[in-house]
Amino acid sequence: MPTGPVGTGTEEGSADASVHQELSRFSNFLKQQGFKITSQRLLVAEKIFDLKDHFTVDSLSEALKDRRSEISRATIYRIISLMVEAGQLIEHNFGQSVKYYEPVHGKEHHDHMVCTDCGLIQEFHHQDIERLQEAMAEKLGFELIDHSLNLYGKCTVLKATGKCRKAEAEKRLE
Protein backbone atom coordinates (compact mmCIF):
# COMPACT_ATOMS: atom_id res chain seq x y z
CA MET A 1 0.00 0.00 0.00
CA PRO A 2 1.45 3.43 -0.91
CA THR A 3 2.45 5.75 1.87
CA GLY A 4 3.25 9.44 1.95
CA PRO A 5 1.34 12.59 1.12
CA VAL A 6 -2.24 12.20 -0.01
CA GLY A 7 -2.97 13.81 -3.38
CA THR A 8 -6.14 14.53 -5.28
CA GLY A 9 -4.87 12.92 -8.48
CA THR A 10 -7.95 13.88 -10.47
CA GLU A 11 -7.94 15.04 -14.03
CA GLU A 12 -9.73 18.31 -14.79
CA GLY A 13 -12.77 16.69 -16.43
CA SER A 14 -13.41 14.33 -13.56
CA ALA A 15 -12.79 17.18 -11.10
CA ASP A 16 -15.54 19.22 -12.80
CA ALA A 17 -17.90 16.24 -12.61
CA SER A 18 -17.03 15.78 -8.95
CA VAL A 19 -17.76 19.45 -8.18
CA HIS A 20 -21.08 19.18 -10.01
CA GLN A 21 -21.96 16.02 -8.08
CA GLU A 22 -21.11 17.65 -4.74
CA LEU A 23 -23.14 20.76 -5.60
CA SER A 24 -26.07 18.49 -6.40
CA ARG A 25 -25.67 16.70 -3.04
CA PHE A 26 -25.54 20.05 -1.24
CA SER A 27 -28.66 21.28 -3.07
CA ASN A 28 -30.50 18.09 -2.11
CA PHE A 29 -29.44 18.53 1.51
CA LEU A 30 -30.71 22.13 1.51
CA LYS A 31 -34.07 21.01 0.06
CA GLN A 32 -34.42 18.20 2.59
CA GLN A 33 -33.72 20.61 5.45
CA GLY A 34 -36.15 23.21 4.13
CA PHE A 35 -33.50 25.80 3.17
CA LYS A 36 -33.58 27.87 0.02
CA ILE A 37 -31.04 27.13 -2.68
CA THR A 38 -29.53 30.58 -3.20
CA SER A 39 -26.89 31.72 -5.66
CA GLN A 40 -24.67 32.72 -2.70
CA ARG A 41 -24.83 29.24 -1.19
CA LEU A 42 -24.03 27.59 -4.50
CA LEU A 43 -21.21 30.04 -5.30
CA VAL A 44 -19.51 29.51 -1.92
CA ALA A 45 -20.02 25.73 -2.10
CA GLU A 46 -18.58 25.61 -5.62
CA LYS A 47 -15.49 27.56 -4.52
CA ILE A 48 -15.04 25.19 -1.57
CA PHE A 49 -15.34 22.10 -3.78
CA ASP A 50 -12.73 23.59 -6.14
CA LEU A 51 -10.20 23.97 -3.29
CA LYS A 52 -7.44 21.41 -3.00
CA ASP A 53 -6.17 22.35 0.46
CA HIS A 54 -7.47 23.01 3.95
CA PHE A 55 -8.92 26.47 4.30
CA THR A 56 -10.08 28.97 6.90
CA VAL A 57 -12.99 31.38 6.66
CA ASP A 58 -10.42 34.14 6.07
CA SER A 59 -8.71 32.32 3.20
CA LEU A 60 -12.08 31.42 1.65
CA SER A 61 -13.24 35.01 1.97
CA GLU A 62 -10.03 36.11 0.24
CA ALA A 63 -10.62 33.56 -2.54
CA LEU A 64 -14.10 35.07 -2.99
CA LYS A 65 -12.80 38.65 -2.93
CA ASP A 66 -14.34 39.51 -6.30
CA ARG A 67 -17.76 38.67 -4.79
CA ARG A 68 -17.11 40.04 -1.29
CA SER A 69 -19.67 42.84 -1.62
CA GLU A 70 -22.34 40.19 -2.30
CA ILE A 71 -21.28 37.62 0.31
CA SER A 72 -20.66 38.65 3.91
CA ARG A 73 -18.40 36.82 6.33
CA ALA A 74 -21.50 35.87 8.35
CA THR A 75 -23.02 34.26 5.24
CA ILE A 76 -19.81 32.31 4.64
CA TYR A 77 -19.90 31.02 8.25
CA ARG A 78 -23.54 29.94 7.86
CA ILE A 79 -22.85 28.15 4.56
CA ILE A 80 -19.82 26.37 6.04
CA SER A 81 -21.92 25.29 9.02
CA LEU A 82 -24.54 23.83 6.67
CA MET A 83 -21.86 22.01 4.69
CA VAL A 84 -20.40 20.51 7.89
CA GLU A 85 -23.91 19.41 8.87
CA ALA A 86 -24.38 17.90 5.39
CA GLY A 87 -21.18 15.85 5.90
CA GLN A 88 -19.40 17.54 3.00
CA LEU A 89 -16.84 19.41 5.11
CA ILE A 90 -14.79 18.39 8.11
CA GLU A 91 -14.01 21.02 10.72
CA HIS A 92 -10.53 20.83 12.27
CA ASN A 93 -9.12 22.52 15.33
CA PHE A 94 -5.38 22.18 14.97
CA GLY A 95 -4.68 23.87 18.32
CA GLN A 96 -4.70 27.30 16.75
CA SER A 97 -7.07 30.18 17.28
CA VAL A 98 -8.74 29.56 13.92
CA LYS A 99 -10.69 26.59 12.61
CA TYR A 100 -9.71 24.88 9.39
CA TYR A 101 -12.08 23.14 7.03
CA GLU A 102 -11.52 20.37 4.55
CA PRO A 103 -13.82 19.15 1.78
CA VAL A 104 -14.58 15.45 2.13
CA HIS A 105 -15.15 14.68 -1.58
CA GLY A 106 -12.44 12.83 -3.42
CA LYS A 107 -10.36 12.12 -0.33
CA GLU A 108 -9.62 8.91 1.45
CA HIS A 109 -8.89 8.70 5.16
CA HIS A 110 -5.68 10.46 6.12
CA ASP A 111 -3.92 12.00 9.07
CA HIS A 112 -2.31 15.43 9.47
CA MET A 113 1.13 16.80 10.22
CA VAL A 114 0.89 20.45 11.36
CA CYS A 115 3.83 22.87 11.50
CA THR A 116 3.73 24.94 14.68
CA ASP A 117 5.89 27.65 13.04
CA CYS A 118 4.17 28.38 9.75
CA GLY A 119 0.89 26.48 10.15
CA LEU A 120 1.46 24.24 7.12
CA ILE A 121 -0.88 21.24 7.14
CA GLN A 122 0.46 18.15 5.37
CA GLU A 123 -1.82 15.17 4.84
CA PHE A 124 -0.38 11.66 5.05
CA HIS A 125 -1.46 8.06 5.27
CA HIS A 126 0.54 5.09 6.46
CA GLN A 127 -0.94 1.63 6.80
CA ASP A 128 1.33 0.70 9.73
CA ILE A 129 -0.13 3.58 11.79
CA GLU A 130 -3.65 2.47 10.90
CA ARG A 131 -2.91 -1.13 11.94
CA LEU A 132 -1.36 0.02 15.22
CA GLN A 133 -4.41 2.14 16.09
CA GLU A 134 -6.74 -0.77 15.32
CA ALA A 135 -4.62 -3.14 17.44
CA MET A 136 -4.61 -0.69 20.37
CA ALA A 137 -8.38 -0.26 20.16
CA GLU A 138 -8.84 -4.04 20.18
CA LYS A 139 -6.39 -4.47 23.08
CA LEU A 140 -8.26 -1.84 25.11
CA GLY A 141 -11.67 -3.29 24.24
CA PHE A 142 -12.82 -0.63 21.79
CA GLU A 143 -14.46 -0.95 18.42
CA LEU A 144 -13.18 1.97 16.37
CA ILE A 145 -15.87 4.02 14.68
CA ASP A 146 -13.67 6.91 13.57
CA HIS A 147 -10.41 8.53 14.51
CA SER A 148 -8.29 11.57 13.87
CA LEU A 149 -4.54 11.78 14.21
CA ASN A 150 -2.82 15.16 14.17
CA LEU A 151 0.93 15.35 14.69
CA TYR A 152 2.56 18.69 15.52
CA GLY A 153 6.11 19.71 14.78
CA LYS A 154 8.26 22.17 12.89
CA CYS A 155 8.68 21.75 9.14
CA THR A 156 12.26 21.95 7.98
CA VAL A 157 11.48 23.98 4.85
CA LEU A 158 10.95 27.26 6.69
CA LYS A 159 14.14 26.82 8.70
CA ALA A 160 16.25 25.75 5.71
CA THR A 161 15.02 28.20 3.08
CA GLY A 162 13.42 31.05 5.00
CA LYS A 163 10.33 30.55 2.83
CA CYS A 164 7.07 29.28 4.19
CA ARG A 165 5.23 26.58 2.21
CA LYS A 166 1.94 27.71 3.76
CA ALA A 167 2.26 31.12 2.11
CA GLU A 168 2.75 29.37 -1.23
CA ALA A 169 -0.30 27.16 -0.63
CA GLU A 170 -2.45 30.18 0.19
CA LYS A 171 -1.38 31.85 -3.07
CA ARG A 172 -2.88 28.85 -4.91
CA LEU A 173 -6.27 29.65 -3.33
CA GLU A 174 -6.38 32.97 -5.14
pLDDT band of residue 51 (cuts 50, 70, 90) is confident
User: Residue 112: is its pLDDT beyond 60?
Assistant: yes
Most confident among 4-13, 81-90, 140-149 (mean pLDDT) = 81-90
Spatial separation of the C-alpha atoms in residues 120 and 101, rounded to whole Å: 14
Length of the chain measured in residues = 174
In the predicted model, is pLDDT for residue 97 greater than 90?
no
In the chain, what are the domains? Answer: 11-107 (1.10.10.10), 109-174 (3.30.1490.190)
Q: With 50 as the cut, is the pLDDT of residue 8 above it?
A: no
Q: Which residues of 43-65 are buried (b: 16+ CB within 10 A; e: fewer)?
A: ebbebbbebebbbbeebbbebbe
Task: Give the model confidence (pLDDT) of 53-94 as tens digits.
Answer: 789 898 899 888 887 667 888 999 999 999 999 999 989 888
* pLDDT of 172: 54
Q: If you write DSSP's letter for every residue of the chain in order, what string do you get?
A: ---EE------HHHHHHHHHHHHHHHHHHHHHHT----HHHHHHHHHHHH--S-B-HHHHHHHTGGGTTTS-HHHHHHHHHHHHHTTSEEEE--SSSS-EEEE-TT----EEEEETTT--EEEEE-HHHHHHHHHHHHHTT---S----EEEE--HHHHHHS--HHHHHHHHH-
The pLDDT of residue 4 is 39
166 pLDDT more than 80: no
Share of residues in the chain with pLDDT > 90 (%) = 33
